[in-house]
Amino acid sequence: MRLLKYISLLLLAFYANVSFAQNYKFLWGVDNQTVFDNREGDQTYAPQQTIFFTRLSPTVGVQIMGEHKLVAGTHYIQPIGIGYKDNKFIPTAYYSFKHTAQKDSTYRKWTVCFGMIPRRLMSLNGSYGRSTMDDMQQRQLPAILWSDSMDYYNPNIRGILLQCEKRSAFHELTLDWRSLQSAEQREAFNVNYNFEKWFNNPFFFGGNAQLNHLAKRNPAPEGEGVNDDMFLYPYVGADFAKHTAFDQLYLKAGYAVSFDRCRAIGDWEVDGGVLAEFGLLWKKIGIKETLYAGDGQFPLYPMYGSLLNMGDPHYQSKFYSLTSVYSPIVCNEYINFGATLDFHATKEGMSCYQRVVLKVNLGNVDN
């Protein structure tokens, strides 16, 4: 009887394991990024410096019933040339739910993520630039909201990522809780909403919106105030790549307006200007031009810097032109490697950035 009991327990465990195995899938991934970014020229808004680092991001996880994922890992960021003094580990741990519904001519895909979520899971805004050919030039948010310097050392969304994709439209909402209030640090978070709607013809329209909040410490020093920053950027554009021999050819333009306030000082300050972007890529040569003209943005940047405003500081100028000449030397499913020359021009001066970027992504965790 005892032997029969043991055999029954073993059979029960075996069948339970087989049933579970049919509903889960082991996930793994290794993401690596190496950046050399040498910055020279005018220092009115950004210092001369050389950024050189490598970031290794291993992850493991499990996919359950095809729609649910639990993933954990880390980002290991190592500056090159200074040994191990300033290296940094940033944990990754998140839950993801993805559901695709397709009925007749309708299509809709939902993605929901909670936790410490890699920014690479954010979708590239827009129907233009979907090809991996120009991955080096695509940003997940406009540079006026999220600079490349911030992207280098902040690889995670710390909170929530929501996405909804249809056949002709895309919506994305993120909550990034950057800092929890304490006696040493201020509460800081931002909410971003991005959408785009495109048509069968070349035209599309969309927008970016942001709410950025910087609270006081607790207890707060005398005179320290709460700070708010809101941003809206509706735009229209056209993508001509399908109708030409170019791999990419698009134009978009809109009006960028921000609302900033330091509650300890006074009322809202409203700043706005025209923001336009042009992109062209043919085989291994690409050009991207971003032009801003209007009021200087980020009025509180001299006080709080990137703690409040995380966009490129050049947008403090009333005129800003960024001309990027780049070459996607190697671009495929696993590797993106290329070089870029960025020419920054403001009313105050000019600077030139030389960048070489290598991105490697292996595994099935992002699929």
Q: Of 166, 151, 164, which Cα lies nearest the Cα of 119?
A: 151
Residue 312: pLDDT band with limits 50, 70, 90: very high
Structure confidence at residue 17 (pLDDT): 58
Residues 89, 73: contact at Cβ < 8 Å?
Answer: no
How far apart, in whole angstroms, are the C-alpha atoms of residue 200 and residue 126?
A: 14
Structure confidence at residue 134 (pLDDT): 43
User: pLDDT tens-digit profile of 152-178?
Assistant: 999 999 999 999 988 888 999 999 999
Residues 6+ positions from 26 with CB-CB distance below 8 Å: 60, 61, 62, 63
3-state secondary structure the chain: CHHHHHHHHHHHHHHHHHHHHCCEEEEEEEEEEEEEEEEEECCCCCCCEEEEEEEEEEEEEEEECCCEEEEEEEEEEEECCCCCCCCEEEEEEEEEEEEEEEECCEEEEEEEEEEEEEHHHCCCCCCCCCCHHHHHHCCCCCCCCCCHHHHHHCCEEEEEEEEEEECCEEEEEEEEEEECCCCCCCCEEEEEEEEEEECCCCEEEEEEEEEEEECCCCCCCCCCCCEEEEEEEEEEEEECHHHCCCCEEEEEEEEEEEEEEECCCCCCEEEEEEEEEEEEEECCEEEEEEEEEECCCCCCHHHHHHHCCCCCHHHHCCEEEEEEEEEEEEECCCEEEEEEEEEEEECCCEEEEEEEEEEEEEECCCC
Structure confidence at residue 6 (pLDDT): 54
Residues 110, 164: contact at Cβ < 8 Å?
Answer: yes
Q: Buried b / exposed e across 109-123, counting CB within 10 Å, b at 16+?
A: eebebebbbbbebbb
User: pLDDT tens-digit profile of 9-38?
Assistant: 544 554 455 455 567 889 999 999 999 999
User: pLDDT tens-digit profile of 168-219?
Assistant: 889 999 999 999 899 889 999 999 999 999 887 889 999 999 999 999 888 8
How far apart, in whole angstroms, are the C-alpha atoms of residue 162 and residue 139?
A: 18
Cα→Cα distances 125→117, 139, 140, Å: 18, 8, 6
Structure confidence at residue 126 (pLDDT): 40
Which range, of 71-75, 83-87, 95-99, 108-112, averages the lowest pLDDT? 83-87
Pick 86 or 61 by higher pLDDT: 61
Domains of the chain are 91-363 (2.40.160)
User: pLDDT tens-digit profile of 259-310?
Assistant: 999 988 878 999 999 999 999 999 999 999 999 999 999 999 999 999 999 9
